[in-house]
Amino acid sequence: MKFSTKAIHAGQKPDPATGATVVPIYQTATYTQEEVGRHKGYEYSRTGNPTRTALEECLASLEDGRYACAFSSGLAAADAALSWLRPYDHVVANADLYGGTYRLFETVYKTRQVDFCTVDGVDPSDFQKAIRPTTKLIWVESPTNPLLQVIDLASVAEICAKNEIAFAVDNTFATPYFQNPLNLGADLVIHSTTKYIGGHSDVVGGAVVTRRDDLADAIKFHQNAVGAIPGPFDAWLILRGVKTLAVRMVQHEENARRVALFLSGHPRVKSVAYPGLGSHPQHKLAAAQMTGFGGMVTFRIDGGPSEANDFLKRLKIFSLAESLGGVESLARYPPLMTHGSIPKAEREHRGICEGTIRLSVGIEDAEDLIEDLAQAFDPDR
Which residue, among 287, 212, 293, 224, has the nearest Cα to 256 in the 3D structure? Answer: 293
DSSP state of 364: S
Establish whether 240 is a catalytic residue: no
Establish whether 2 is a catalytic residue: no
The phi, psi pair for 368, rounded to 5°, reads -65, -40
Q: How far is CA 291 from CA 249, 253, 344, 356, in A?
A: 11, 11, 35, 27
The phi, psi pair for 15, rounded to 5°, reads -60, 125
How many C-beta atoms lie closer than 10 Å to residue 136's C-beta?
Answer: 18
At residue 276, the 3 state secondary structure works out as coil
Which candidate in 6, 26, 89, 98 is catalytic?
A: 98
Which candidate in 170, 187, 234, 372 is catalytic?
A: 170
- Contacts with 359 (C-beta within 8 Å, 6 or more apart), sequence order: 256, 259, 296, 297, 298, 299, 318, 329, 330, 331
* CA pair distance 358, 195, nearest whole angstrom: 15
Give the strand order in the sheet containing 115-119.
67-71, 206-210, 188-191, 166-170, 135-141, 90-94, 115-119
Establish whether 120 is a catalytic residue: no
The phi, psi pair for 314, rounded to 5°, reads -85, -10
Taking the CA atoms of 9, 14, 16 and 20 in sequence, report the sign of the dihedral they define. positive
Which candidate in 46, 240, 243, 270 is catalytic?
A: 46
Establish whether 46 is a catalytic residue: yes
Which candidate in 6, 52, 195, 220 is catalytic?
A: 195
What are the DSSP calls for 53-99, one per residue? HHHHHHHHHHTT-SEEEEESSHHHHHHHHHTT--TT-EEEEESS--H
User: Does residue 253 contact residue 292 with C-beta atoms inside 8 Å?
Assistant: yes
- Give the residue numbers marked as catalytic: 46, 98, 170, 195
